[in-house]
């Protein structure tokens, strides 16, 4: 997979010399965490927080669907 720069505001969890690179695993993990928390808030009837977490999940997934970050063979 081609290494590209991270979108602004998304920093890979690693601290090595490649921590500035686009990290689809970190974005996927962020999306899963946000969706899980949205379910947690919905079970407690906190719809406003659930919506906020779902928006965060969609924002984390957006770079993964971008054509600028596709794998090159």
Looking at the DSSP bridge assignments, the partners of residue 21 are: 5
- How far apart, in whole angstroms, are the C-alpha atoms of residue 10 and residue 12? 7
pLDDT band at 24 (very low <50, low <70, confident <90, very high): confident
- Tell me 19's DSSP state: T
Looking at the DSSP bridge assignments, the partners of residue 5 are: 21
| pLDDT of residue 10 exceeding 70 | no
What pLDDT is attached to residue 65?
82
Tens digits of residue pLDDT in 47-66: 999 999 999 999 998 888 87
């Amino acid at each position: 997979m081609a290494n590209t720069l991270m979108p602004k505001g998304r920093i890979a969890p690693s601290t090595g010399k490649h921590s500035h690179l686009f990290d689809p695993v970190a974005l996927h993990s962020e999306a899963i965490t946000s969706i899980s928390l949205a379910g947690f808030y919905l079970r407690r009837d906190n719809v406003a927080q659930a919506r906020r977490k779902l928006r965060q999940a969609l924002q984390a997934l957006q770079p993964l669907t971008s054509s600028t970050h596709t794998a090159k063979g």
